[in-house]
Amino acid sequence: MQPNLTLTGMPGAGKSTIGIILAKNLTFGFIDTDVLIQINQQRSLQQIIDESDHLNLREIEEKEILKLNIERHVIATGGSVPYSQKAMDHLRGISEIIFLKVSYEEIERRIHNFTTRGIAKSPDQTFRELYEERQILYKKYADITIDCNHMNQDEVAMEIATLYTTKYAG
């Protein structure tokens, strides 16, 4: 059986873009859990945070992930997914989990809309503190870690596809 592939990592790590490229390369379906949340909630991630708080967004994210019952898909998750043990256990049961590791400096270079992007963090937490906290969680759940600092999105997708086909083609 060929499991799904789940991409985790910080906002700005390239999960959505790499996920789409990877899905095309492997002829898999593609699901972005952030988009799934927005469709099902009829609100942006930022609106959810503004109308309640970051913990509510994490709870909604967990519920959406627990509903996933799919095969042969690339799943791009929201950056806060590893806060949910239940969600990560579910994803681990249906997929290989790949952590797209990107340095703080590179994430900072890529993201300019920290306050409107819908990033689930406590109001008093700096982005740097959030980054450090999440790195531990991403590493904890990762089956594979890809250092994305010196590769473009196509190269990252190709590396993952190669690892996947090598493991499951036999």
Q: Please give the CATH topology (third level) of the domain spanning 4-168.
A: Rossmann fold (3.40.50)
Residue range 62-116, pLDDT digits in tens: 999 999 999 999 999 988 999 999 999 999 999 999 999 999 999 988 887 666 5
Looking at residue 114, its pLDDT comes to 63
In our burial notation (b when 16+ CB lie closer than 10 A, e otherwise), range 141-155 reads: bbeeebebeeeebee
Q: What is the pTM of this model?
A: 0.93
Structure tokens belonging to residue 149: 């600092």
Contact (CB, 8 A) for 10 and 78 = no
pLDDT by residue (tens digit) across 123-151?
788 889 999 999 999 999 999 999 999 99
Residue spans per domain, the chain = 4-168
User: Coil, strand or helix: which one is 100?
Assistant: strand
The pLDDT tens digits of the residues spanning 20-47 come to 999 999 999 999 999 999 999 999 988 9
